[in-house]
Amino acid sequence: MEKWLTPGALQKCDEMKLEKKRQKKLTLAIRACQRRFRAARRIQAWWRGLLVRRALLAAALRAWVIQSWWRAILHRHVRKQRLALLRAYAIEEEAAVKLQACVRGWQSRHCFYRTSGALCVFQPSYQDSLAFQNGHILQVQYRVVPKQPEFHIEILSI
């Protein structure tokens, strides 16, 4: 066995052991480096995801602000249209009421003039009494007009 243990062989054996230790250290260093790279990648991925989520949140908030603004514009537009329709309706109703009042006034004046004209024809010479020679009864025909105007309001929504 001694012939195997030459100084060159011992040196080679020591070198091989050192080489194996170096290789182990190298592989451990490579593994540690790979772990660091993986950890760095995970941190970078987390950071990029955070930035993307922030950007998406900012974009969503901006879209929400724009949508809110647009809804407010549409609401104002619809409200203006409704008010314009209501004003037009009120003007038309007022005109119809005035026209009805004029027609009813004309009808009542016309009825009054006919009645007063008929009374003037049959008015006796004496202011106190109304006497008919042949016993006829004076009949006046009139129509009852309601005292309260009727309003019919319809509000249409668009």
Tell me the whole-structure pTM to 2 decimals: 0.41
pLDDT value for 140 = 45
> 11 falls in which pLDDT band (50, 70, 90)?
confident
Which residue ranges make up each domain of the chain?
Answer: 7-93
What proportion of the chain, given as a percentage, has pLDDT over 90?
52
Distance CA 106, CA 83 (A): 34
pLDDT at 143 over 60: no
Helical (H) or strand (E) element with 20: helix 7-121
pLDDT value for 6 = 66
pLDDT at 139 over 50: no
